[in-house]
Amino acid sequence: MYFQNRISRFLFSATLFVFAAFAVQAQPGGQVVDRIVAVVGGQMVKYSELQNNLMQLKNSGAPTNENSLTEVLEELMLQKLLVSQAYRDSLKVGDGEVDQEIDRRMRYYLQQFGTTEAFEQFYGKSVEAFKLELREKIRELLLAQRMQAKVIGDITVSPSEVKAYFNGIPKDSLPFINAEIEVGHIVAKPKVNTELKEYTKKNLEDLRGRIMRNEIDFCAACRSYSEDPGSIDNCCTYKNVRRGMFVPEFEAVAFRLKEGEISEIVETEYGYHIIKLIARKGDEIDVAHILRVPPITAEDLRVSKTRLDSILHLIEIDTVDFCEAAAKYSDEEDSRYNCGLILNPQTGTSRIETSMLGQIDPTQGFPLFLDEMKTGAISKPVLMTTRDGRQAYRLVWLKSRIEPHIANLIQDYQRMQDDAQIDKQRKTLDTWVNRKLETTYVHIADDFKNSKFEHGWLKYAK
């Protein structure tokens, strides 16, 4: 939007925090001669921190220019100002919150590297040593977030403010909105019949017996029999698993096992598992499992389809509307209480660019299917592929179709409301920064005193 670039420099987004949190001196490569480039309220900004943040920004693919170093320095000084004020206001961040945030970020980074060994080789230190270096940086970032929330967290905008914001955007700066749709569904997942569930469980029990008698090792059994495609190439092993990453039934058993121990049969929503604990590393485990999924028969699917036929009939005779039917009958928890609407994961709203449909819904041919539907129509039961790769049936409702257009208040009110709120937050934060600078110690290195900052840092610099 019109103000988006300006706003992003002053509001501490999750992306900015990722840059800062991992701007550590442990970066591989040449060493930077370190020095202090700024001090805000007793909080220092080091040259290495500034350079590492700039490098993270460039590596992210974000556009940079000749003023990017100044912008990054101002972001860091704003962070230090927020932290300084957080200490003054006695705001605190608990050790548990810090641990949770470190673990979340480390899981992401380890996933990018594939293995712990690759990560440790790249950085030249152990995961635990890396986490220790991050600890105070993460605490500082969480404090800055908490202080920022105190300053702007309660800000809302009225309809008149949204209108004023929109009218303030130059007409030639209004964004072009690509074609979008709103689509809902009522999902009926087939129920596996009892005989096939017992058959699958018995087969896995027999396989476990062979493993325990050393007739086949766990890795070979995994490669031959497991139905988890995400782990089969790695001897069915998941590394660096922490609580909360898998379903509770799986974790309850996995975290109780001793190293090398193999569990009894465990049932989850995905099927039946036997679990082996490979290694325990503090709060993390390396764990392997063999998954067997009870097969879905054509009869199971037919029953699901018949169930949806009955639900569709109730909608057609106005016994219930689509929203009520979704809440009452749909088997998909993510959408059932939202009128069955599929949400855009990027925005959290129900408006989805048509070009993104294939990324959001794995069902082959779904975008073409929607192209042939009329707005407001509800389909007959159609086959779908769920996110875990299984087949089910669903009713599809094409709630609306938004043609490509220049942004306006009628079609894009929610977008404008979000942008107006961000703009109001920016202005509130601007005012807060300028007021705090009057009473906060600021020092900026001489070689940055000709920089063009958005705020009056230089006016108050000692």
Q: What is the dihedral of CA 38, 55, 87, 157, to 10 degrees?
A: 110
For residue 250, what pLDDT is reported?
95
Distance from C-alpha of 226 to C-alpha of 166, rounded to nearest angstrom? 55
Residue 5 has pLDDT above 50, yes or no: no
pLDDT band at 447 (very low <50, low <70, confident <90, very high): very high
For residue 324, what pLDDT is reported?
97
Distance from C-alpha of 157 to C-alpha of 164, rounded to nearest angstrom? 11
Domains of the chain: 4-167+411-460 (1.10.4030.10), 179-191+297-403 (3.10.50.40), 194-292 (3.10.50.40)
CB–CB of 146/52 below 8 Å?
A: no
Closest CA to 159 of 407, 409, 426: 409
| Long-range contacts from 262-268, C-beta under 8 angstroms, 24+ separation | 262/208, 262/211, 262/212, 262/218, 264/208, 265/201, 265/204, 265/205, 265/208, 267/201
Q: Mean pLDDT highest for which of 32-36, 227-231, 243-247, 318-322?
A: 318-322
Mean pLDDT in residue range 2-19:
42
CB–CB of 277/287 below 8 Å?
A: yes
Residue 23 has pLDDT above 80, yes or no: no
Give residue-wise pLDDT tens across range 321-362. Answer: 999 999 999 999 889 999 999 999 888 889 999 999 988 999
Residue 2 has pLDDT above 60, yes or no: no
Q: Is 41 left (phi over 0), alpha (psi -120 to 50) or beta?
A: left
CB–CB of 313/329 below 8 Å?
A: no
Tell me the CB-side half-sphere exposure of residue 161, using CA atoms within 13 A.
Answer: 13
Comparing 33-37, 104-108, 365-369, 411-415, the range with the smallest average pLDDT is: 104-108
For residue 197, what pLDDT is reported?
93
Distance from C-alpha of 278 to C-alpha of 262, rounded to nearest angstrom? 9
For residue 31, what pLDDT is reported?
53
Mean pLDDT in residue range 83-101:
91
> Residue 229 burial by CB count (10 A; 0-12/13-18/19+): exposed, middle or buried?
exposed
Q: Comparing 20 with 454, which gets the higher pLDDT? A: 454
Mean pLDDT in residue range 230-247:
83
Mean pLDDT in residue range 109-131:
81
Distance from C-alpha of 237 to C-alpha of 42, rounded to nearest angstrom? 47
Q: Give the count of beta carbons closer than 10 Å to the beta carbon of residue 80.
A: 22
Residue 20 has pLDDT above 70, yes or no: no
> Of how many residues is the chain composed?
462
Mean pLDDT in residue range 215-235:
89
Beta-strand pair 271-281/284-292: antiparallel
Q: Comparing 302 with 19, which gets the higher pLDDT? A: 302
SS (H, E, C) the chain: CCCHHHHHCCCCCHHHHHHHHCCCCCCCCCCCCCCEEEEECCEEEEHHHHHHHHHHHHHCCCCCCCCHHHHHHHHHHHHHHHHHHHHHCCCCCCHHHHHHHHHHHHHHHHHHHCCHHHHHHHHCCCHHHHHHHHHHHHHHHHHHHHHHHHHHCCCCCCHHHHHHHHHCCCHHHCCEECCEEEEEEEEECCCCCHHHHHHHHHHHHHHHHHHHCCCCCHHHHHHHHCCCCCCHHHCCEEEEECCCCCCHHHHHHHCCCCCCCECCCEEECCEEEEEEEEEEECCEEEEEEEEECCCCCHHHHHHHHHHHHHHHHHHHCCCCCHHHHHHHHCCCHHHHCCCCECCCCCCCCCCEEHHHHHHHCCCCCHHHHHHCCCCCCECCCEEEECCCCCEEEEEEEEEEEECCEECCCCCCHHHHHHHHHHHHHHHHHHHHHHHHHCCCCEEECHHHCCCCCCCCHHHHEC
Distance from C-alpha of 135 to C-alpha of 301, rounded to nearest angstrom? 51
Residue 211 has pLDDT above 70, yes or no: yes
The proportion of the chain whose per-residue pLDDT surpasses 70, expressed as a percent, equals 93
For residue 389, what pLDDT is reported?
82
Residue 115 has pLDDT above 60, yes or no: yes
Residue 270 has pLDDT above 60, yes or no: yes
For residue 16, what pLDDT is reported?
43
Residue 231 has pLDDT above 50, yes or no: yes
In single-letter form, the type of residue at position 254 comes to A
Give residue-wise pLDDT tens across range 51-83. Answer: 988 888 887 777 888 889 999 999 999 999 999
Mean pLDDT in residue range 408-419:
94
For residue 10, what pLDDT is reported?
44
| pTM check: above 0.85 | no
Residue 215 has pLDDT above 50, yes or no: yes
Comparing 94-108, 203-217, 401-415, the range with the smallest average pLDDT is: 94-108
- Mean pLDDT, the chain, rounded, equals 89
Residue 15 has pLDDT above 60, yes or no: no
